[in-house]
Amino acid sequence: MTIGSIPLRFKVEIDPELCMLCGRCVENCSYGVYRMEGDKIRVNSRNCVACHRCTAFCPRDAISIYEKPTDYRSHPVWTREIREAVFNQAKTGKIILAGMGNVLPYPMIFDRLLLDACQVTNPSIDPLREPMELRTYIGKKPIALSLKEYPNGDADLLTKLSPNLQIETPIMIGHMSYGAISLPAQQALAKAVSRIGTFMGTGEGGLHESLYPYQKNIIVQVASGRFGVDINYLERGAAIEIKIGQGAKPGIGGHLPGEKVCADVSCTRMIPEGSDAISPAPHHDIYSIEDLKQLVRSLKEATEWKKPVFVKIAAVHNAAAIAAGIARSSADAVVIDGFRGGTGAAPVVFRDHVGIPIEAAVASVDAKLRQQGIRNEVSIIASGGIRQSADVAKVICLGADAVYIGTSALVAMGCRVCGTCNRGQCAWGIATQKPELTKRLDPETNAVQVENLIHGWTLELAELMGAAGINSIESLRGNRDRLRGYMLDEGLLNVLDVKTMGA
């Protein structure tokens, strides 16, 4: 061992004046930071990931956690993270894995876009007094309607509409599989979406029986591993989503390690217990856009053309052209997953370096579809890096119909974004399959928290719309006129088709 130990990432301290030796930290820490030795609590800071489970349950606020207690010699090129990655790989010779989303300090485009409000020339609308419509339909819309109108004012609708999902707020919960997250976590999300009148995705891990009561608010996913897919699964979903790629790791597949494939996961995924669940990088029946079309249509055929079929892609450089291809494949919605999207586990090199931000991807996809006159063929669902209601409003102004949230829903259940989902030790019972940890998460309590979050965002969206003099979400969609760029460069302003502030 020539490299020796790497400086601590976190230092944990217990204030002996405050500590009453209750041992809750010892019980709660799933990473082995604490141990009780006689009348003392010993700390091993090296194990700490800053998930804050201990501080959240310490009744005396006795615990403090400090980040990076040891300084490196500062260097603008050879940052601490770069050096530690080299140490890590020099020792292991492996690909470095991590959880959650992109950690590099790229500028947030959302934070450089400003929303508009009315003053004098048009009145703002008070959502407490006037109707404010956030209802959104996800799916194919006709380009024009054909009506037979009668002199008495009656009219027959001759156009047949494709199936659409009706949501009461443009916020849905994205696909996080059973396997990546725990069953109680999925149950909490399912309860929340069914009460709000929105939808959640199963992820590629199948649909556990205990979620059947919520199936009319669940979108089932078909990914390259085809885990848990049979006709029963397809028929239970309100919609079907084909996952081509994911924002956190565009271009590669997934890998659920065998130790997470417990009996229940094995049944739901339809694979042997303890076996690795490997999703290949491409679908082995999709090597071109026409193959995708066949799969879309096969899924529709299997479910008698009663369900919308979505296609999810990672936001990559050519997302606009790919989305235009998808729009012509009979798909009903395209999901664009930006490079800040979270994940249970991904190679760091992909998570941090591959793909583009959702803001630019949605803007270019919407523009391309309109240019080709096929915007009505598909809805656009934006995901990956939606952190707050303002982001929802902004991405809708850029052209999205609705959003998927992931990380923020997990944070609403206690997740502290410690980024170690890949280790399966989640002390909050979210990203783990260990029964002693998953039982920590009460689906009912957490459903209320997730519901509160979406409800709060929905109220804020309604206020933002009212302030902008808009009482229907359709009029926000693609309304780039109501956005201004805050010190964005001209090239990006052109892509976003947004004017600079003051203009």
CA angle 448, 450, 452 (to 5 degrees): 65
Four-residue CA torsion sign, 432, 438, 441, 442: positive
Site for another protein in 99-118 (CB under 8 A): 118
Which of 45, 83, 82 has its CA nearest to residue 65? 45
Contact indicator for 38, 96 with CB cutoff of 8 Å: no
Return all residues near 173 (Cβ < 8 A) that are at least 6 apart. 189, 192, 193, 198, 199, 200, 201, 404, 405, 406, 409, 450
Gap between the Cα atoms of 72 and 251, Å rounded: 35
Residue 408, phi-psi category: left (phi > 0), alpha (psi -120 to 50), beta (remainder): alpha
- Please tell me the count of residues contacting another protein according to CB under 8 A: 44
Phi, psi of 229 (to 5 degrees): -90, 120
**Part in contact with another protein (CB under 8 A); list of ranges 9-17, 131-139, 295-303, 451-459:** 131-139
Contact indicator for 431, 421 with CB cutoff of 8 Å: yes
Site for another protein in 27-56 (CB under 8 A): none
Residue 321 touching another protein (CB under 8 A): no
Binding characters for another protein, 361-390, by CB under 8 A (x = yes) = ---------xx-x-xx--------------
Question: Which amino acid is it at 431?
Answer: A
Site for another protein in 391-450 (CB under 8 A): 397
Among 18, 36, 90, 161, binds another protein (CB under 8 A): 161
Among 88, 164, 388, 449, binds another protein (CB under 8 A): 164
The residue among 95 and 145 lying less far from another protein, judged by its C-beta, is 145
Binding characters for another protein, 470-489, by CB under 8 A (x = yes) = xxx-xxxxxxxxx-------
The residue among 133 and 264 lying less far from another protein, judged by its C-beta, is 133
The residue among 256 and 362 lying less far from another protein, judged by its C-beta, is 362
Q: End-to-end alpha-carbon separation of the chain, Å?
A: 60
The residue among 244 and 476 lying less far from another protein, judged by its C-beta, is 476
Residue 270 touching another protein (CB under 8 A): no
Site for another protein in 167-196 (CB under 8 A): none
The residue among 54 and 476 lying less far from another protein, judged by its C-beta, is 476
Gap between the Cα atoms of 392 and 369, Å rounded: 20
Among 36, 104, 155, 289, binds another protein (CB under 8 A): 155
CB of 391 to another protein, least distance (A): 18
Q: Is 392 helix (H, G, I), strand (E, B) or coil?
A: helix
Among 36, 82, 95, 157, binds another protein (CB under 8 A): 157
**Part in contact with another protein (CB under 8 A); list of ranges 202-210, 249-257, 326-334, 469-477:** 469-477
Residue 15 touching another protein (CB under 8 A): no
Among 7, 251, 274, 469, binds another protein (CB under 8 A): 469
What does the block give as tokens for 47? 């194990």
Phi, psi of 168 (to 5 degrees): -85, -10
The residue among 283 and 375 lying less far from another protein, judged by its C-beta, is 375
Return all residues near 468 (Cβ < 8 A) that are at least 6 apart. 115, 116, 117, 118, 124, 476, 482
**Which stretches of the chain bind another protein, using CB under 8 A?**
118, 121-123, 125, 130-131, 133, 135, 137, 141-147, 149, 153, 155, 157, 159, 161, 164, 370-371, 373, 375-376, 397, 468-472, 474-482
